[in-house]
Structure 1
């Protein structure tokens, strides 16, 4: 039985009513009406993303999400296999003529086609809605026309780059701006807060920016299409408290507990070691290619804008060098990702939740809450170095902080006080 019950065969039950209609159908069949479907492995669930052209708006696409129950499969390897099978089945159905806009209407196929063609004629001249990508571009052009300060434009562009990269990774760049909901924004904010190790202030600044972006975007789009409306309720998203603790560092006791579990998962163990010794952000590591590693100069180039602080050089300590050599990656093609598909060096990127999903069962087994994250291993390294007597300047060269003030704020977030009296003092 087909996994996709909603994909009916596209065979009309009756002859088409006219030669002109037949010619229209033939013309529609010649032109590909969809973009290649892809697997999306999002935190809210896995699915096949299928961008399909609106029947009455040529060049504009609606994204359909087909999951067919694969998210009920708990084992990630099995889910991956089923997702690949589902992708092949979707492609097969598309080649057979599947049109998601006509699901459940096969008994009136000819009549439906006629109505769609008439609809196209009636809606000629109607301005199509903006995609989120178009809306962002128009917002940026508006900011330039209004002569906003360079600092404001630069800040806005930073927020936009972060959001646009996330949309692209999640195959959402073709979504209509009017289809963006608070769940979309919350997904971006929460994932970035986890992956990038954002402070509550960074989280809140992005949230404030979205209020500015979408309120202005709606006004701009309504100048072209007075009927458009947005359904975004950002007021329902709460700001993070300034002292909200996230990405907690691991105490020696917890480190030993986790390491015992990681010994049975070599790919994940190497990934955690890389975070710890490099202090790179998880997203930087996920997008790191072999060509960015210079063992002779003992440094790694983290490329902006994937690096939160822009382009920077990460020093390679002896332990990280040993890890690199043990992986044998320097003998592989230079365009390979260090942690590629399935967590091993590959020409294909690993999906962003691959390691966190494999890390979760360890946390569940050990009773560790959500404040213990993969990114927390970077903080653990920082705390260990500071407690061992390394200077702030030495540690800053590893973390990528560009000024002492921001580094001190980072230390306060970690509740690190290296001046505290921890040895023997004065007896009573």
Structure 2
């Protein structure tokens, strides 16, 4: 076999078919690459029976050369004899399948979720291509899945929560691959989720909230904190709010389903304190289609959505300035709001709906935070023995 004559098409290599003759008669010979081993295998097809129906040798040879030409056209188009009886999709690389998956998911997922899936895909492909470049999706087995998950947990040193998220995305990707015919089974199905660590967030007491109000007086970020605390709007959802979502007449803000975490449109209550801040910031003077928070420096409204990490950076700056513990996070306002509503005897169902929770169990989990005044409350309100 001449290396120089090897042809390549897509992910496969082959040696074009030729007509040969030996003492046993004519035969067609070609080589094709085994997609699993990468080795070239020789194929021969005897033509003795086919040429018997021709009276002239020249006609028989012409027929054989025509078969050779048609066979080479098939090889050039990507046909491979190893695909006979199997779906050719089983021999598509993991890289190509990943691109197809992300392209399809882009139509279904929100931008924030899409970024997470893209990050996951890049990590998976980087890990695979560093070890087995050009690996077929169908050959990514449970042993490789084990090593990949170990790499994420041990070498990248992620939390159990993050590891669980990667496992869920891996399952989703390979479920899609199986459905589309790119894999025969999901190599991640045998793995169980790790036990999550308890969320390290504490509630934000009234004195601290007062200090934050003074520190942020007149600034848009104070409105962000209030919306998380009173309106129970998630920070990621707040980034997507527009001026048109504010309804001062009905004392509410609309969180549309397309920007909500659980895809449910809801109308969140806004307090007189929030309405006063909205007016003092002059938000209602801006065009209705402007984002409530846009400018990178001032966070004033604008036509462009604020970048992802802006709220996180602002909170880190505030926490450092006021000397707050790391367990006090921006999201802690939401926990605190839920907790205070329940303590104030707002009924559970109303709190669940306001918080956009799927069940009361979740509302209870979010409300289950350490209360620094718990001992005092119990001692003052429990009858003596």
* TM-score, L = length of structure 1: 0.49
Q: Secondary structure at the match of 1:210?
A: helix
Which residue is equivalent to 1:339? 293
**Residue pairs, 1:10-409, within 5 angstroms:** 129-130=95-96, 132=98, 134-136=100-102, 161=109, 165-168=112-115, 178-179=125-126, 206-216=165-175, 223=182, 239=194, 241=196, 244-263=198-217, 266-309=219-262, 310-342=264-296, 343-409=299-365
* Partners of 1:336 and 1:347 within 8 A in 2: yes
Residues 361, 239 of structure 1: alpha-carbon distance in 2 compared, 3 angstrom cutoff: farther
Q: CA deviation at 1:281?
A: 0.3
Q: CA deviation at 1:276?
A: 2.0
* Partners of 1:340 and 1:347 within 8 A in 2: yes
* Partners of 1:337 and 1:347 within 8 A in 2: yes
Distance 2:259 2:226 in 1: 20
Aligned length: 269
Q: Secondary structure at the match of 1:271?
A: helix
* Partners of 2:97 and 2:182 within 8 A in 1: no
Aligned residues: CA RMSD = 4.9
Q: Structure with the greater relative contact order (CA < 8 A, sep ≥ 6): 1 or 2?
A: 1
Q: Secondary structure at the match of 1:130?
A: helix
Deviations 1:223-254 (A, max 9, x none): 49xxxxx9x9xx9x994525x12332112343
Deviations 1:67-94 (A, max 9, x none): xxxxxxxxxxxxxxxxxxxxxxxxxxxx
Stretches of structure 2 that go unaligned for 5 or more consecutive residues are 1-8, 11-75, 79-90, 129-147
Distance 2:378 2:164 in 1: 37
Residues 267, 303 of structure 1: alpha-carbon distance in 2 compared, 3 angstrom cutoff: same
* Partners of 2:120 and 2:169 within 8 A in 1: no
Q: CA deviation at 1:424?
A: 4.1
Q: Secondary structure at the match of 1:351?
A: coil
Distance 1:298 1:317 in 2: 7
Q: Secondary structure at the match of 1:161?
A: coil
* Partners of 2:244 and 2:288 within 8 A in 1: yes
Stretches of structure 1 that go unaligned for 5 or more consecutive residues are 1-55, 58-122, 141-156, 194-199, 225-229
